[in-house]
Amino acid sequence: RTGEINREGQAYLDFFVNTLMMPESLREVLRRPLGELKPGVEFAEEETIKEVIAGLKKKRPVMTLAVGDIVSLSSQRAGFESDTKIIDFRSRRLDISESYHRLLTAKKSDEVIAILKAENKAGTITVKAAAAIRQAVRLFLQKKRRSTIVVKGEEDLLTLPAILLAPLGAVVYYGQYDRGVVVVAVTEAVKRKVTGLIRAFSC
């Protein structure tokens, strides 16, 4: 039920024992939404994120993971704290302002948010980045402690390990440039789909 292993007994974390490199053949495939697309435009997605948040509050997933700076910031501004945020302080490979830094790592007065750091170069999924996601998941499931993973490099591909390492019943959501927000309900079927994608990566 925690979604740590598949039905063949293989731990999903085992897919990340080496740094994985995305093949060029997957670039177009990965532009397709991995879940339900909520249409909207980046930097003007207030209504979109409100719709996403309303859905999350209705479904009450066991855990929420937001991948990306803009979607994380928009959620926070709308009054919703994701259990894990994965950010790199960049959007479309441009640095975002210092005020965004403060907002994205801000915490409520009654809780301590763990700040985890990991390196992850563009076009890769590193061992350290996957390990940080696993640590964030365990921190929340075991201690109900929220985390922000600050990536040095690029966080785009970390949606894939976020889905694989999240518990069943969780929701991973991320922004797609000029398309909207993609909401992925973590199920065994989705994990199988992502496993197929990960197997196409090279070490």
Which pLDDT value is given to residue 100?
Answer: 65
Percent of the chain with pLDDT over 90: 67
**Residue 173 is inside which H or E element, if any?**
strand 171-176
- The most distant pair of C-alpha atoms in the chain lies apart, rounded to whole Å, by 46
Strand pairing category for 64-67 and 171-176 = parallel
Mean pLDDT throughout 1-18? 90
User: Whole-model pTM?
Assistant: 0.91
Residue scoring higher pLDDT (101 or 174): 174
Q: Which amino acid is at 189?
A: A
Which 8-state DSSP code applies to residue 36?
E
SS3 40: coil
Phi, psi of 137 (to 5 degrees): -60, -45
User: Per residue in 119-153, pLDDT tens?
Assistant: 999 999 999 999 999 999 999 999 999 999 999 99
Here the contacts of 199-203 (C-beta below 8 Å, separation 24 or greater) are 199/15, 200/23, 200/25, 200/26, 201/20, 201/21, 201/22, 201/23, 201/26, 201/125, 202/20, 202/21, 202/23, 203/18, 203/19, 203/20, 203/21
User: What confidence tens digit (pLDDT) does each residue in 16-52 have?
Assistant: 999 999 999 999 999 999 999 998 765 456 788 999 9
Task: Return the pLDDT at 117.
Answer: 93
